Amino acid sequence: MSGERILLVTGASSEVGTALIRSAADKYDRIWAHYNRSLSEIELLMEEIGEKIAPVQADFSDENNTQAMIESIRASGALPGDIVHLSAMKPSGLQFHKQKWESYQREIDTSLRSIVLILQAFIPEMAKKRHGKIVFMLSAYLLGVPPKFQSPYITVKYALLGLMRNLSAEYASKGITVNAVSPDMMETKFLSNLPELVIEQSAKNNPLGRNIRVEEVVPAIEYLLSDAANVVTGQNIGVTGG
């Protein structure tokens, strides 16, 4: 296992996750494809790509479930050298004073706690090998004035940005890069809780006159996973269209 290139993608059943895996599959010997409920999307990847796709299930809102996933990967001996963290709760528009703490907690558990536990488990081995690539999916909402009515989602994205930058400083000397990609709104099933008017307004406000496409985001992630980005760390790359 020591010479293999192994990737872990959280939220692999998402449109970005499946597109990334399809595009990057030739560069890896094994890809751990995390999902919560959408096994069918992972099964399609297995049919197309073959045995190198290793599905792994976890509900990140459950800490024990998350730890069980980590232990199953650890027990296999196939520890990831590259990690892409896509998992997040779907944003929904609600005024701040109407948000319950449970909404923040779900965001924290799903997006923040999950990657903290995963990285604490696998970064030590990356550091021993003096090589590792970690990429967080953030949001263009961190690059300018954020929209209203999405405080739990945006709060946790800022927490992830802080974690990314701190880890990039801590592990640069170990050969590990930690970066993020922040796309503008993409019209995927991730937006299913938002009003159509919000999605249309986002497209209208974008200099391109449309929302960003999944296939326009994947190359930025692949770049950060590549040897071309060996000295790129602590960066949050915007994919915004202007």
Q: Contact at 8 Å (CB) between 9 and 36?
A: no
Q: Contact at 8 Å (CB) between 26 and 226?
A: no
Catalytic positions, written as ranges: 153
Neighbour-count burial of 44, counting CB atoms closer than 10 A to its CB (0-12 exposed, 13-18 middle, 19+ buried): middle
SS (H, E, C) 115-145: HHHHHHHHHHHHHHHCCEEEEEECCHHHCCC
Whole-number Å distance between alpha carbons of 55 and 31: 8
- DSSP letter at 14? S
